[in-house]
Amino acid sequence: MTLTTSAWHSLPPPALDQQIRTRALEHQAMLTKPPGALGRLEQLAVQFATWQGCLKPKCDEVAIAIFAGDHGIANEGVSAFPQAVTVEMIRNFVNGGAAINVLAKQANANLWIVNVGTVSPLGFEGENLIDATIASGTQNFLVQPAMSESECLSALDAGRRMIQDIVPPGTALFVGGEMGIANTTSASAIASLILDVSPAQLTGAGTGLAEQGIAHKCKIIEQAIQRIKISSQKSDLNTFEILRQVGGFEIAALCGAYIAAAQAGIPSAVDGFIATVAALVAVELNPAVRDWLIFSHQSEEKGHQIVLAHLGVDPLLNLKMRLGEGSGAALAISVIRSALALHAEMATFEEAAVSNQK
């Protein structure tokens, strides 16, 4: 299936305010520092000024959404953890005990957990838990497509509805995270098909597989790709079909959220490998979304650097993380806020009576 041009996914984000961008660059040049001395912090401030259409932007309101779902490919033993962990971690998110809960609290950010489809019923509720169940997990993409066309569209739409219906007006930044046992397998398969890179170059330890486990995981992805190429009888699959064949509900929802956030004029801070693959799909479906993404960190997952390089981006941080949950992106919030504070509060050469360069 090919998404039609009338689909919401293809609608463009707002035009960037180039006049404000020019003024923000001029303001940076007047601050009491050598030109470029604050490096990426200067670029962040100019980006936010351009996005918000104001000279001195703020990042007070941040929305974090963790999309969670199960994967049929987990049946092939590609993860170090049992599938039950997906539901157990959703409970942990709801109870406030996960890393992202701590980081969201530190950042004073709103946090929601969105269940897009687990194998086992949750059996609990939570104030910040949203039920957007599509099915009881995806199918095993070794033997059949992970999602039907309608399921894949529903997963993308779950991300859109999160942005349109739940994220509060005035939100300055969206952070998307994911949870789903075996979702690094799905992400590696998506990236392999889109980038035409071998699974061996992309496939890493995920939740902590040893060398033998990584080799098995890689073999499963290779076999799945072979199945897809034979069944489709096409050498060049479109992006939606790739997502449908080997994606996950939570990856598709995250992709939809990135697109919808950009369309709403909200930039997104992209997390690690899985989130970056979701961003890759979003950019493939709607190239203008690229201008509304900040890539927060480079994870330790093997394929992340390859996907980042394809997108031509340099992430803000490298803390050797590989947790997911939106954790690396949440850590970047403080960096972003510092960049905006420096831009707004530093004195100019004239205000400080400091001599500028000749």
Global pTM value: 0.96
Q: Residue 63, SS3?
A: strand
Q: Is 221 part of any domain? A: yes
pLDDT value of position 235: 60
Q: Is 96 part of any domain? A: yes
Q: Is 131 part of any domain? A: yes
Q: Is 13 part of any domain? A: no
Residues β-bridged to residue 113? 66, 129
Q: Which of 42, 284, 301, 325 is catalytic?
A: 325
Q: Quick one: tokens of 72?
A: 């049929």
For 297-306, write each residue's pLDDT tens digit: 999 988 999 9
pLDDT value of position 358: 67
pLDDT value of position 1: 43
For 243-292, write each residue's pLDDT tens digit: 999 999 999 999 999 999 999 999 999 999 999 999 999 999 999 999 99
DSSP 160-209: HHIIIIISPTT--EEEEEEE-TTHHHHHHHHHHHHHT--HHHH---TTT-
- Cβ atoms 64, 55 nearer than 8 A: no
Q: Is 132 part of any domain? A: yes
Residues β-bridged to residue 117? 69
The angle at the Cα of 268, spanning 81 to 126, to the nearest 5 degrees, equals 55
- Cβ atoms 212, 250 nearer than 8 A: no
Q: Is 57 part of any domain? A: no
pLDDT value of position 131: 98
Our count of domains for the chain comes to 1
Query: Which residues, in sequence order, are CB contacts of 137 under 8 Å at separation 6+?
Result: 69, 70, 71, 72, 83, 117, 118, 119, 249
CATH code at position 110: 3.40.50.10210
Q: Is 349 part of any domain? A: no
pLDDT value of position 343: 98
Pairing of strands 62-69, 173-179: parallel
Q: Is 325 a catalytic residue?
A: yes
Domain that holds residue 242: 62-336
Nearest to 292 by CA among 316, 272, 267, 315: 267
Q: Is 304 part of any domain? A: yes
Taking 70 as the pLDDT cut, the residues of the chain under it are: 1-6, 206-207, 234-236, 358
Handedness of CA 175, 179, 180, 181 (dihedral sign): positive
